[in-house]
Amino acid sequence: MYQTEQIDTSKLKPFPIREIRPAIIERIKARIESTGYNPSRPLSVVKQNGSYIVADGNHRYEVIRRLQIESVPCVVYEEGHDPYSLAVNGNQDEDTYAPMDLFDWLDVIGRLQDEGLTQEKIGEVVGWSRDKIQKYIILRSQIVTEVLAFAKANQKGRVTINVTTGTKNERGVTSGL
């Protein structure tokens, strides 16, 4: 169950599901400075011990924090809701400034795996099949950490929703993850 409330931003806490992208922060900041905060895009938060974990909207939250906006509309989920599931579902919204890309998925799956979740449970959290999770775990295990960090730091842009991820086999045939 959830409800919509205006929440004091001092009660909001970020949920580090993925890295905050500076370019996205600048785009959102420019928009909010020119037109104000859009109340039709509330943050999705999970109530937890008197504060609110921002499950979806961490880029917006960072801008709100920087601009010292005192309160914002939030969709509030009671304690017990899984912030990972809310974050993943929210980041699949076609209107998001920063859709989840390969690096984000590898990070999320890695965090969930590090927390001790099984492939099946990770699949339930992100809404994927166990088979797809297994492929991402294999990919994550085969990428050297330094290569992944270099690629993330030096990429010119992010993958768009319309790009298919995949790998090539020894014959050059691409198969999607």
Instruction: Please indicate, yes or no, whether residues 2 and 37 belong to a single structural domain of this protein.
Output: yes
Q: pLDDT digit string (tens) for 11-42?
A: 999 998 888 888 889 999 999 999 988 888 89
According to the model, what pLDDT value does residue 169 have?
Answer: 46
76 domain-assigned: yes
Q: What is the mean pLDDT of residues 172-177?
A: 45
Which residues face 118 on adjacent strands? none
**Using alpha carbons only, how large is the chain's radius of gyration in Å?**
18
Total domain count, the chain: 2
Residue that finishes a domain, picked among 25, 53, 81? 81
148 domain-assigned: yes
Instruction: Please indicate, yes or no, whether residues 61 and 108 belong to a single structural domain of this protein.
Output: no
Instruction: Please indicate, yes or no, whether residues 117 and 61 belong to a single structural domain of this protein.
Output: no
Q: State the residue range of the domain holding 151.
A: 101-165
7 domain-assigned: yes
21 domain-assigned: yes
Q: Taking the complete model, does pTM exceed 0.85, yes or no? A: no
173 domain-assigned: no
Least confident of 57-66, 80-89, 164-173: 164-173
CATH number, domain of 19, equals: 3.90.1530.10
Dump strand ranges (E) for the chain: 2-8, 12-14, 43-48, 51-56, 71-77, 166-168, 174-176
Rounded to 5°, angle at Cα 136 from 117 and 106: 80
Instruction: Please indicate, yes or no, whether residues 58 and 118 belong to a single structural domain of this protein.
Output: no
94 domain-assigned: no
Confidence grade of residue 93 (pLDDT, cut at 50, 70, 90): low
132 domain-assigned: yes
